[in-house]
Amino acid sequence: MTVAFWCVLIALMLPYVCTSIAKFSSGFNLRHNHDPRTFLSGLEGLPARANAAQMNSFEVLPAFIAAVLIADIVGNAEQVTQDVLAVLFITSRLLYIICYLADWAALRSLVWFVGIGLIVGFFIASV
């Protein structure tokens, strides 16, 4: 199993880290588990930003997974290049989540663009 594939697993787990922050920083309890989406949609402040980071983390997953798999299937990119791109992507996602939680909107957008650029990098490296 390559580092890039392990990074896919990490990327799959990041949304659940965000939703845990959203739920447990807002007083979530089992009573709210009957309709957690309604509960999460009514949050404000840090819990709301954590929920938004969760949703964005889910949104970017298909592109990252596709990029890793396509680069692996095509096989033109060195494995070390794929691994470095994947680790950098995970790093960008962690920074993105931190920026979202801290309410650093401009920096968050910049980090988001870096992450998208890294996804594009998988395709460029595979040419």
Burial of 45 (0-12, 13-18, 19+ CB in 10 A): exposed
72-92 burial by CB neighbour count: b if 16+ within 10 A, else e? beeeebeeebbbbbbbbbbeb
What pLDDT is attached to residue 41? 83
What pLDDT is attached to residue 73? 96
- Confidence tier at 101 by pLDDT (50, 70, 90): very high
Q: Which of 29-38, 72-81, 96-105, 111-120 has the lowest mean pLDDT?
A: 29-38
What pLDDT is attached to residue 34? 75
Domain of 10 in residue numbering reads as 3-126
- Confidence tier at 4 by pLDDT (50, 70, 90): very high
The region, left, alpha or beta by phi > 0 then psi within -120 to 50, assigned to residue 35 is beta
**In whole numbers, what is the pLDDT of the chain averaged over residues?**
93
Residue 77 gets which letter from DSSP?
A: S
Segment 106-120, tens digit of pLDDT: 999 999 999 999 999
**CA pair distance 114, 117, nearest whole angstrom:** 5
Strands (E), the chain: none
What pLDDT is attached to residue 87? 98
CATH of the domain at 58: 1.20.120.550
Segment 19-49, tens digit of pLDDT: 999 988 877 666 667 777 888 888 899 999 9
Kindly state the average pLDDT of the residues 9-25. Answer: 94
Model's pTM, two decimal places?
0.93
Concatenated DSSP letters of 88-124: HHHHHHHHHHHHHHHT-HHHHHHHHHHHHHHHHHHHH
What is the domain count for the chain?
1
